[in-house]
Amino acid sequence: MAKLLKNGKLLEKDGSLQNKDILIEQDVIIKIESEIPEANHEVINVGGNIILPGFVDLHVHLREPGGEYKETITTGTNAAARGGFTTIAAMPNTRPVPDSKEQLQWLNQRIEETAAVRVLPYASITVRELGKELTNFEELAGEGAFAFTDDGVGIQDASMMLHAMKEAAKVGKAIVAHCEENTLINKGSVHEGDFSERFGLKGIPSVCESVHIARDVLLAEATGVHYHVCHISTKESVRVVRDAKRAGIRVTAEVSPHHLLLSDEDIPGIDPNFKMNPPLRGIEDKKALIEGLLDGTIDFIATDHAPHSEEEKSESIELAPFGIVGLETAFPLLYTHFVEKGIISLNELVALLTSKPCEVFELPYGTIQVGKKADITAVNLDDVEKIDPTTFLSKGKNTPFVNWECKGWPVLTMVNGEVVWKKGGEVQ
């Protein structure tokens, strides 16, 4: 039976909201009109809420295999569905790492059996992400690797990166880079700046990230590969990416909601729920990230959802792992702090979470159109709620945004024509 989404308001390109019904046959949108008769369709009433393309998050840690106590493919994708995300890309810093055909086959099978939303698996650049030996890019691409990354660690060796880029270019895949120079980390757990000085903590300097980006854009120029920068965080990094784009180098970048919303000035005290990699930088960095997002230097937003157990996050600031969760709070936070405050339009925010990442990685998702997959998120823009980690479907409760009051919460998420989540918490 075809499904009919009724009573939804579609966000048009000019920013206006139009009452539209959407007819879905199997997993595809077959008709969008102001009034489609109910006939014998299965009617899904979206109750006057706004209808958006399902959100796309190309930077998510699902932790399975090996870290199931932090998150599983099931819990992580349920969290994605609750956050309105219909397609996510899974980072490979798992145990084992998807660095071989067999591991990637296993992962794809597991995704097929247990994921609530579409999951695109990354493969690693180096074997076990150890930075010593390249993986077999051709084999991994053949097995459906979305792109290549060693997220969690930087590629230290320039010649390793050069060879990785050449291999990635050959198979037509991107190199997605966690940029961190090990000799500059300084054993820090926060940004090297006012906060680290005030609290007498070791700090990670901005150059720890930006020197890798500067090196890599030149390597990207030499190889012609699509080079994508993960979780960009410093003003110098933004400048390097801007200049590289101007020079015609094929570089793209993502930024996380937390780096757009917070700087080290906002850290209330020593608290591992404010510890992530890269760290929250200075206020000038935050401003540069927003400016970079507005002028197109930064291409899209990705959460870097990084769940950890409460036990791990209760360790000292030095010992607690880096990372915070993001899937269930991204849209309400960004809507409240950027759209409601008039910094960007709703259309722009939605594009940064949907069509932009899809354009960058040539994915056929991220828009609501006849003939496309029915990946749809309905959002109640008037709903005001406080962020409460005890309600998260993610196993990870590690967020710095506890009790933040936000407006604009997802109410229904559909992937491939199937409702996978509905407000009230019930997972479909």
Strand boundaries in 34-105, DSSP class E: 42-45, 50-53, 55-60, 85-90
Question: Edge to edge, what strands does the sheet with 55-60 contain?
Answer: 55-60, 85-90, 118-121
Q: What are phi and psi of 315, to 5 degrees?
A: -70, 175
Confirm or deny that 178 is annotated as ligand binding: yes
Select 178 or 308, whichever has its Cβ closest to Zn ion. 178
CA-to-CA distance for 252 and 371, rounded, in angstroms?
28
Q: Which of 223, 258, 28, 251 is nearest to 137 (CA)?
A: 223
**Residue 8 binding target from Zn ion, ligand NCD, none, CB below 5 to 8 Å by type:** none
Which residue of this chain has its Cβ atom nearest to Zn ion in the complex?
178
List the interface residues with ligand NCD, window 285-344 (CB under 6 A): 304, 306, 321-323
CA-to-CA distance for 154 and 178, rounded, in angstroms?
5
- The label of the residue with tokens 């407000």 reads 423
- List the one residue from 151, 216, 254, 264 that touches Zn ion (CB under 5 A): 151
Catalytic residue among 299, 304, 382, 388: 304
Confirm or deny that 305 is annotated as ligand binding: no
Contact 125, 164 (CB under 8 A): yes
Select 153 or 201, whichever has its Cβ closest to Zn ion. 153
Does 216 help bind Zn ion (rule: CB under 5 A)?
Answer: no
Select 70 or 118, whichever has its Cβ closest to ligand NCD. 70
Contact 414, 347 (CB under 8 A): no
Q: Which of 248, 246, 366, 395 is nearest to 301 (CA)?
A: 366
Q: Which of 319, 317, 259 is nearest to 289 (CA)?
A: 259
Contact 335, 347 (CB under 8 A): no
Using alpha carbons, list the distances in angstroms from residue 63 to 46, 121, 143, 322.
Answer: 33, 12, 20, 14
Question: Which tokens in the block code for residue 334?
Answer: 């960004």
Binding mask 261-300 for Zn ion (x = CB under 5 A): ----------------------------------------
- List the one residue from 147, 232, 276, 387 that touches ligand NCD (CB under 6 A): 276
**Residue 276 binding target from Zn ion, ligand NCD, none, CB below 5 to 8 Å by type:** ligand NCD
- List the one residue from 99, 151, 285, 375 that touches ligand NCD (CB under 6 A): 151
Confirm or deny that 337 is annotated as ligand binding: no
Q: Which of 406, 356, 416 is nearest to 383 (CA)?
A: 406
Contact 267, 339 (CB under 8 A): no
Among this protein's residues, is 304 annotated catalytic? yes
Shortest approach of Zn ion to residue 82 CB, angstroms? Answer: 20
CA-to-CA distance for 191 and 185, rounded, in angstroms?
10
Using alpha carbons, list the distances in angstroms from residue 29 to 9, 49, 185, 350, 380.
Answer: 16, 19, 49, 19, 22
Does 82 help bind ligand NCD (rule: CB under 6 A)?
Answer: no
- List the one residue from 178, 228, 305, 313 that touches Zn ion (CB under 5 A): 178
List the interface residues with ligand NCD, window 3-62 (CB under 6 A): 61
- List the one residue from 3, 178, 212, 397 that touches ligand NCD (CB under 6 A): 178
Confirm or deny that 41 is annotated as ligand binding: no
Does 304 help bind Zn ion (rule: CB under 5 A)?
Answer: yes
List the interface residues with Zn ion, window 218-237 (CB under 5 A): 230
Binding mask 88-117 for ligand NCD (x = CB under 6 A): -----x------------------------
Total residues at interface with Zn ion (CB under 5 A): 4
Shortest approach of Zn ion to residue 275 CB, angstroms? Answer: 13
Does 67 help bind ligand NCD (rule: CB under 6 A)?
Answer: no
Shortest approach of Zn ion to residue 76 CB, angstroms? Answer: 13
Does 395 help bind ligand NCD (rule: CB under 6 A)?
Answer: no
* Helical (H) or strand (E) element with 213: helix 207-223
Angle at which helix 207-223 crosses helix 158-171, to 10 degrees, equals 50
* Binding-site residue positions for substrate: 61-63, 93, 277, 308, 322-323
Chain residues binding Zn ion by CB under 5 A are 151, 178, 230, 304
Enumerate binding residues for ligand NCD (CB under 6 A): 61, 93, 151-152, 178, 276-277, 304, 306, 321-323
What residues act catalytically?
304
Binding residues for Zn(2+): 59, 61, 151, 178, 231, 304
